[in-house]
Chain A
Amino acid sequence: MTDQRSQAEIVRQSLKRRYRKERRFRAYGILAIAIALGALLTLFTDIIGKGYTGFLKTTITMEVQLDGEMMYLDDPKDERQIKMADFVEPLVQALIKEVPGATEEDRKQIRELINPYASVALRDALKANPEWLDTSRTMTFLSHTDVDVYVKHAGDDAYSIKLNDQQKAWVDELQERGVIETSFNDVFFSGGDSRDPSKAGILGAIVGSLLTMFVTLILSFPIGVAAAIYLEEFAPQNKFTDFIEVNINNLAAVPSIIFGLLGLAVFINLFGMPRSVPVVGGLVLTLMTLPTIIISSRAAIKSVPPSIREAAEGIGASKMQVVLHHVLPLAMPGMLTGSIIGMAQALGETAPLLLIGMVAFIVDVPDGFFDSATVLPVQVFLWAGSPELAFIERASAAIMVLLAFLISMNALAIWMRKRLERRW
């Protein structure tokens, strides 16, 4: 057996080289995973690093003299007077008093530290509490966005600080004395969009998203489940059924922007539905998510074993009874899981909504399905396109909120798959 001996020798000699290749191949695999996970990590740290300050607001707390004379106001219940009155002056005066060494000369610079919307807040407070007139009260107002940026990002080169040196010194001093403070940004969660970054919030976008998702859910889930039941249980084996299946599979891979074109041409131009409203957005997203829901629901129905069907048919249940009483309840967890994942996709979708006009600047929180609205991802898109870094910060914060929604939806789906899905 010299042949076998010599061959064994050859094999042994080749081993070193071959194991080197093996190790290299394995290293490529690890490298690939490292790249993918590294990208994920970079993305998250980048967004959190850019955006966590978006959850903070900068406020000024000071003693405001609500002097009627100064404001040209003697009856806060009078709408006309309230409209004409000067609510800026008391704020400026109050802040001058807080800033050591500041005088009447500096009023222009002092005024630049206060948020333009602070006077509106003061007016609303006085309208609500007319008895406050001619008293002195400690109140908290938003600072100007420039102050906010300076307080949060003083050392950061990326941000351009618009305050002059005098104003910077004042802000430092006021911060030390606790007049200027940063705290949790409740404005961000309680308001709609605004031209002023300090005032801008995502509540409008969240409500818009919820309304849109509601429409999507109540349409796409029943329709998707019904379609899946038909295709799995009732459809005859013919060309038409094949055609439906081909259509569903292709629709699942059609770019989302095409659905936007469909929505624009059919819902808006053909049916004359209004632009920018949650109903149209919901309809477009329904058409987009249906294939996903149908495909996952069919898989869930398929996984119900035939023995269950046979048992029910054996005691004389009709086909429809078998499906509705036995197959559907057993397939439901799988269907729900697929639908949640489909809804998560729809929640993050942006492109088709741009085309049906949900990209408008909308300050008010929408109050119905036919009210102009925007959605969370579109809000991110709008803010991300702004040249002001303060808006970029809010866009990052909005992304974190969006991701939190998506991650919890996916976690729910995973939990349901683990808990509720039966293994046969």
Chain B
Amino acid sequence: MQPANLLLLTLVLAIVAYWLGYARSRSLAMPLGGIRHLKSLPFYYGARAALWSGIPALIVLGLWAAFQGKVIQLIVIGGLPDGMMPATEGEASLLLSKISNVASGALPPGFVEAPIAEAAERLKALRSQSQFLMSGLVISVAVLAGFLGWLRIRPRLNARAQVESILKWVFFACAALAILTTVGIIFSVAFETFRFFEKVPFTEFFFGSHWSPQTALRADQVASEGAFGMIPLFTGTLLISAIAMVVAVPVGLLSAIYLSEYAGRKVRGVVKPLLEMLAGIPTVVYGFFAALTVAPFISDLAASMGIEASSQSALAAGAVMGIMIIPFVSSLSDDVINAVPQAMRDGSLALGATQSETMKKVIFPAALPGIMGGILLAVSRAIGETMIVVMAAGLAANLTANPLETVTTVTVQIVTLLTGDQEFDSAKTLAAFALGAMLFLATLLLNVIALKIVRKYREQYD
């Protein structure tokens, strides 16, 4: 049975368990003189039975579904004759994709070696066995646990307390998922990063000024070892983020100031949602706009002024990214500006200051820490932004500060290295994870600092 159908069946079984539990509690209560002699309402006895039946079954189902693929792969690979045993993980993944292609019928068995065709048959057989076993196990767990739960219904049983404590644990598990996600992120990038540093020296990655990750596919190919110096990526990312900030910070900040201090209610009511709309536009749309409209426009404009500009200039990607970040900066600044107490404004205005003097000399300095925090968050967003740069910035890792030249960024390289077919242990693929680790660390650091500043600022006026 398909996992999706099995999931539905488990839910149906849980509902059945609910009704059985409900009915049993009522029938137990009958001779005692009605349900008020039960410790809890019949609903809770039913819910308890449903949880007993559903939760263990769902856990079994989830674990099985998560690990069956990997286990089957290992068995299939292990069953190959000695001569075909893959030496590296890369070979293993190539072999596996071949086998699964044969199994799914995309590749006729006649085109491959006999052991692979056999392995494909084994793969098919194992898959159906696994599904069968999983279905059997999940259903029997659901029925058995549900039955046990049903059997133990007693009038003195405090079903409500039990149901509530189970639910509380379920809620806790959901909240703890956030930790699990962080741990998952750290492990998934950390492992591959360590393996990357086994192949490429630490110093080359951090201090090398040359990036060209194309390694030779075969040993006899001319292309030599790739170079993995991240400095050009780092500077490229910084260049584009800096251009984005030059656009976003003044525009975002000034529009927030205008909207909160000068604009009437009607203007605010129209302009604010429009600004927020900029934030809701998907990044792929900005990428499209940057690559196909802004970049050609900039290079034409530069050409007409006699300057040479790349058709994938850092300026185009940065400027469009800046537009994307405007609402981010303006809504954060709006929050902090509004958090400055009205008493400050009154104090300044009563002294005869104009609105702009009040803004520049009282409110802005008071709000500055909060605004700085917001800008740090915006920087972290800019360096992690992917689609705009993938579409509008180039792949050439130039070490330059000229905004009209092409640069590449960390995120562009991650996407380029990981899209398409890949061997999982080549330095090229691992480099993507190493870059991911750097990106994660950098954004994490910025976020932690920014959130701390913002929180401190809020406390000041609360």
Residue of B70, B71, B386, B415 with most partner-chain A CB within 10 A = B386
* Chain B contacts for A355, CB-based, 8 A: 414-415, 418-419
Asked if B10 is at the interface (CB within 8 A of a chain A CB), the reply is no
* Chain B contacts for A244, CB-based, 8 A: 175-176, 178-179
Asked if A392 is at the interface (CB within 8 A of a chain B CB), the reply is yes
Q: Determine the distance from Cα of A366 to Cα of B33 in the docked complex, in whole angstroms.
A: 58
Q: Determine the distance from Cα of A255 to Cα of B170 in the docked complex, in whole angstroms.
A: 28
Chain B residues 262-278 with CB under 8 Å of chain A are: 262, 271, 273-275, 277-278
Interface size class of A (residues with CB under 8 A): 35 or more
Chain A residues 4-34 with CB under 8 Å of chain B are: 11, 18-19, 21-22, 25-26, 28-33
Q: Determine the distance from Cα of A324 to Cα of B148 in the docked complex, in whole angstroms.
A: 27
Asked if B342 is at the interface (CB within 8 A of a chain A CB), the reply is no
A39 touches B323 (CB 8 A): yes
Q: Determine the distance from Cα of A244 to Cα of B50 in the docked complex, in whole angstroms.
A: 29
* Chain A contacts for B400, CB-based, 8 A: none
Chain B residues 432-448 with CB under 8 Å of chain A are: 432-433, 436, 439-440, 443-444, 447-448
B293 touches A255 (CB 8 A): no
B258 touches A351 (CB 8 A): no
Asked if A320 is at the interface (CB within 8 A of a chain B CB), the reply is yes
A258 touches B440 (CB 8 A): yes
- The listed residue (A19, A43, A226, A254) touching B281 by CB distance below 8 A is A43
Interface flags, B240-281, vs A, CB<8A=1, else 0: 000000000011111101110010000000010111011011
B182 touches A251 (CB 8 A): yes
B381 touches A348 (CB 8 A): no
Asked if A202 is at the interface (CB within 8 A of a chain B CB), the reply is no
Asked if A123 is at the interface (CB within 8 A of a chain B CB), the reply is no
* Chain B contacts for A33, CB-based, 8 A: 254-255, 258-259, 271, 275
Q: Determine the distance from Cα of A349 to Cα of B282 in the docked complex, in whole angstroms.
A: 7
B262 touches A29 (CB 8 A): yes
Asked if A52 is at the interface (CB within 8 A of a chain B CB), the reply is no
Q: Determine the distance from Cα of A265 to Cα of B184 in the docked complex, in whole angstroms.
A: 9
Q: Determine the distance from Cα of A348 to Cα of B387 in the docked complex, in whole angstroms.
A: 11
B258 touches A26 (CB 8 A): yes
* Chain B contacts for A234, CB-based, 8 A: 168, 171-172
Q: Report if A266-B285 is in contact (Cβ < 8 Å); known contacts: A272-B70, A291-B178, A320-B164.
A: no
Chain A residues 228-253 with CB under 8 Å of chain B are: 229-231, 234-235, 243-244, 247-251, 253
B185 touches A271 (CB 8 A): no
B356 touches A257 (CB 8 A): no
Min CB–CB distance A353 → chain B (angstroms): 10
* Chain A contacts for B277, CB-based, 8 A: 40, 407
B387 touches A350 (CB 8 A): yes
B254 touches A31 (CB 8 A): yes
**Total number of B residues with any Cβ neighbor in A under 8 Å:** 99
Min CB–CB distance B48 → chain A (angstroms): 13
Q: Determine the distance from Cα of A36 to Cα of B280 in the docked complex, in whole angstroms.
A: 14
Closest to B161 in A: A318
- The listed residue (A28, A39, A227, A381) touching B391 by CB distance below 8 A is A381
* Chain B contacts for A235, CB-based, 8 A: 175
Interface flags, A357-371, vs B, CB<8A=1, else 0: 101000000000110
* Chain B contacts for A251, CB-based, 8 A: 178, 181-182
Chain A residues 278-331 with CB under 8 Å of chain B are: 287, 290-291, 294, 318-320
Closest to B188 in A: A265
- The listed residue (B187, B254, B444) touching A32 by CB distance below 8 A is B254
A32 touches B250 (CB 8 A): yes
Q: Determine the distance from Cα of A396 to Cα of B271 in the docked complex, in whole angstroms.
A: 25
Asked if B189 is at the interface (CB within 8 A of a chain A CB), the reply is yes
Closest to A29 in B: B258
Residue of A22, A384, A402 with most partner-chain B CB within 10 A = A384
B184 touches A266 (CB 8 A): yes
A271 touches B254 (CB 8 A): no
Q: Determine the distance from Cα of A126 to Cα of B387 in the docked complex, in whole angstroms.
A: 45
Chain A residues 179-238 with CB under 8 Å of chain B are: 222-224, 226-227, 229-231, 234-235
Asked if B360 is at the interface (CB within 8 A of a chain A CB), the reply is yes
- The listed residue (A22, A29, A257) touching B257 by CB distance below 8 A is A29
B288 touches A255 (CB 8 A): no
Q: Determine the distance from Cα of A219 to Cα of B164 in the docked complex, in whole angstroms.
A: 21
Closest to A250 in B: B447
B285 touches A226 (CB 8 A): no
* Chain B contacts for A222, CB-based, 8 A: 174
* Chain A contacts for B284, CB-based, 8 A: 348, 350, 377-378, 380-381, 384, 399
Q: Determine the distance from Cα of A355 to Cα of B432 in the docked complex, in whole angstroms.
A: 11
Asked if A256 is at the interface (CB within 8 A of a chain B CB), the reply is yes
* Chain B contacts for A380, CB-based, 8 A: 284-285, 288
Q: Determine the distance from Cα of A190 to Cα of B271 in the docked complex, in whole angstroms.
A: 37
B175 touches A253 (CB 8 A): no
B181 touches A290 (CB 8 A): yes
* Chain A contacts for B440, CB-based, 8 A: 254-255, 258
Q: Determine the distance from Cα of A402 to Cα of B168 in the docked complex, in whole angstroms.
A: 39
Interface flags, B343-367, vs A, CB<8A=1, else 0: 0000000001011110110000000
Asked if B69 is at the interface (CB within 8 A of a chain A CB), the reply is yes
* Chain A contacts for B436, CB-based, 8 A: 257-258, 261
Min CB–CB distance B349 → chain A (angstroms): 13
Knowing that A29-B258, A254-B447, A274-B69 are A-B contacts, what are 8 other residue pairs whose CB atoms are under 8 Å apart, sorted by A's residue number?
A26-B258, A32-B258, A227-B177, A247-B179, A294-B178, A370-B2, A377-B284, A406-B280
Q: Which residues of A contact B (CB under 8 A)?
A: 11, 18-19, 21-22, 25-26, 28-33, 35-37, 39-40, 42-43, 46-47, 50, 222-224, 226-227, 229-231, 234-235, 243-244, 247-251, 253-262, 264-266, 269-274, 287, 290-291, 294, 318-320, 344, 347-351, 354-355, 357, 359, 369-370, 377-378, 380-381, 384-385, 392, 395-396, 399, 402-403, 406-407, 410, 414
5 cross-chain pairs, A with B, having the tightest CB-CB distances, nearest first: A255-B384, A29-B258, A272-B69, A348-B282, A265-B188
Q: What are 28 residue pairs bridging A and B, where the CB atoms are less than 8 Å apart in the complex?
A: A25-B360, A32-B252, A33-B254, A36-B251, A37-B271, A37-B274, A223-B174, A227-B178, A234-B172, A243-B179, A253-B443, A261-B189, A261-B433, A262-B181, A262-B188, A265-B192, A272-B72, A290-B177, A348-B283, A350-B386, A351-B411, A354-B418, A380-B285, A381-B287, A381-B387, A384-B287, A392-B292, A414-B273
Q: Which residues of B contact A (CB under 8 A)?
A: 2, 4, 66-73, 160, 163-164, 167-168, 170-172, 174-179, 181-182, 184-185, 187-189, 191-192, 250-255, 257-259, 262, 271, 273-275, 277-278, 280-289, 291-293, 323, 326-327, 330, 352, 354-357, 359-360, 377, 380-381, 383-387, 390-391, 411, 414-415, 418-419, 424, 432-433, 436, 439-440, 443-444, 447-448, 451
